[in-house]
Amino acid sequence: MTAEALRRSLETTDNPFNSTDEVMSWIARRNKEVDVRIRRIPFSEMRGWHFDEPTGNLVHDTGRFFSVVGLDVYTNTGTVSRWMQPILNQPEVGFLGVLCRDIDGVAYFLLQAKIEPGNVNCVQLSPTLQATRSNYMCAHGGRPPAYLEIFRNATRDRTILDQLQSEQGARFLRKRNRNMVIRLDGDIDVGEDFRWLTLGQIKELVRRDNVVNMDTRTVLSGLRVDDGGTDGINSIDDILHQLSRLKSKFELQVEKIGLRDVKEWVVGSDEIARPDHRFFRVIGVDVTIANREVSTWRQPLVEPMQEGICVLFAKRIRGKMHYLLQAKVECGNFDVVELAPTIQCLTGPYLNPIGYRPTYLAEFLDGSCVERTIVDVMQSEEGGRFYREQNRNVVCEVNDAVPDDQPENFVWMTLGQMREFLRFNNYLNIQVRSLISML
């Protein structure tokens, strides 16, 4: 795929194959056609899953897919230095793959209208292929997912993007997916669940509430389309040195423990939760999806206890737009610290927070530091694991209330620099990648 075809794709919003309006009505139609029923059930009725002995971990009978285990966390940073919590454990790397084609010099990307049980609205635009290793190794005995072999056998000259990127560090233990964009030479048959879209269209759709799913957003965040180089007020080496310093200063020790041994959390008959109902809970659901055929299964889902917010500050410094990232320690992080949005408030309430004061949250909420809102939209977390979790995603230009000089756990970066760090994996967390996909 040429840089020119990507650039033209970004500029193209009038797609001759599917206009953006057509895509929206197609999604609406898919939403109507399917009947998705999610019913909470007690764990004892969650066929295919059981609590393992002696750990008390919630596991699939095959031992595959994911499990809910306990984590004992120690860190020397933040307001709480020691805690235990349940966490999703899925020690395998899945595929998040998007196919693309050059049609008349413009790049088109193949997205899928996919139903996921946890979605607020059922259908969202997902990558061409979205499959965990257990899926594609057919742990539940089904057919391999469509287009899998194209991604598994992709040759070097067809690979536009192939990155290992992290998932939510507060919910997943060191989970990563392989984010891919693969170029096709000719045409292929696409089913009625698929549509070819331009980057410009996807950028339009990602600025609407809950249309483009998290997996699509993370893949697209890595695509480099003329980002204006990697110069900024901090050099790439400056930022790398800052991260080395923090990763050496901040200790993060996590030990997997049995779910049974997690203090302050109770495994009840139909939820794994804290008595004070803070943070999140794990529930069991029965999922029935009916359209042409009926499929039904049971699984655990994570339900957040509040709505969260992620805000990325932008500011023109020395003539170039910079974004303010926060070096954040999260217990499931692959490498202690990842770069997160300026404000990331997902595990506690952001309106009337108790006991902690995220930097810049007050100034953002009262608007005193905001010059201009670039995007302000609700986005869903991955609907295969999270139950109706949507978070407010904001990018805004800020004034001099946010200084150019920042403390050691914040850093100003240009878009080109963020993409450079995306190339080398595990530097930018999933929340900031979601925001980058909207830029």
Q: Which is nearer to a copy of itself, 169 or 200 (CB)?
A: 169
Q: Which is nearer to a copy of itself, 117 or 222 (CB)?
A: 222
Q: Which is nearer to a copy of itself, 248 or 291 (CB)?
A: 248
CA distance 201 to 237: 35
Q: In whole angstroms, how close is the CB of 152 to a copy of itself at the nearest point? A: 9
Contacts of a copy of itself in 128-187 (CB under 8 A): 156, 159, 162-164, 178
Contacts of a copy of itself in 409-428 (CB under 8 A): 423-426
Q: What is the DSSP letter of 403?
A: -
Binding mask 220-259 for a copy of itself (x = CB under 8 A): ----------------xxx-xxx-xx-xx--x-x-xx---
Q: Which is nearer to a copy of itself, 91 or 229 (CB)?
A: 91
| Residue of the chain from 3, 93, 378, 401 that contacts a copy of itself (CB under 8 A) | 93
- CB proximity list for 283: less than 8 A, separation 6 or greater: 40, 270, 271, 300, 301, 303, 387
CA distance 228 to 421: 15
- CB proximity list for 180: less than 8 A, separation 6 or greater: 95, 96, 97, 98, 151, 154, 159, 161, 162, 163, 219
CA neighbor of 240 nearest in space, from 421, 435, 48: 421
Contact range with a copy of itself by CB under 8 A, out of 40-48, 90-98, 298-306, 344-352? 90-98
Contact present, 139 and 64 (Cβ < 8 Å): yes
Q: In whole angstroms, how close is the CB of 165 to a copy of itself at the nearest point? A: 10
Question: In degrees, to the nearest 5, what angle opens at C-alpha 421 toward C-alphas 415 and 424?
Answer: 150
Euclidean distance between the first and final Cα of the chain, in Å? 21
Q: Residue 15 carries which side chain, given as an amino acid letter?
A: N
Q: Which is nearer to a copy of itself, 210 or 242 (CB)?
A: 242
Contacts of a copy of itself in 302-341 (CB under 8 A): 334-335
Q: Which is nearer to a copy of itself, 180 or 199 (CB)?
A: 180
- CB proximity list for 271: less than 8 A, separation 6 or greater: 281, 282, 283
Contact range with a copy of itself by CB under 8 A, out of 31-39, 88-96, 276-284, 323-331? 88-96
Contact present, 338 and 322 (Cβ < 8 Å): no
Binding mask 43-82 for a copy of itself (x = CB under 8 A): ----------------------------------------
Q: In whole angstroms, how close is the CB of 209 to a copy of itself at the nearest point? A: 32
CA distance 394 to 372: 11
Contacts of a copy of itself in 104-133 (CB under 8 A): none
| Interaxial angle between packed helices 415-423 and 236-249, expressed in degrees from 0 to 180 and rounded to the nearest 10 | 60
Q: Which is nearer to a copy of itself, 237 or 400 (CB)?
A: 237
Q: Which is nearer to a copy of itself, 113 or 336 (CB)?
A: 336
CA neighbor of 165 nearest in space, from 147, 153, 181: 181
Q: In whole angstroms, how close is the CB of 162 to a copy of itself at the nearest point? A: 4
Tell me the torsion sign for CA atoms 277, 278, 283, 289.
positive
Contact residues: a copy of itself, CB under 8 A: 91-93, 95, 156, 159, 162-164, 178, 236-238, 240-242, 244-245, 247-248, 251, 253, 255-256, 334-335, 423-426
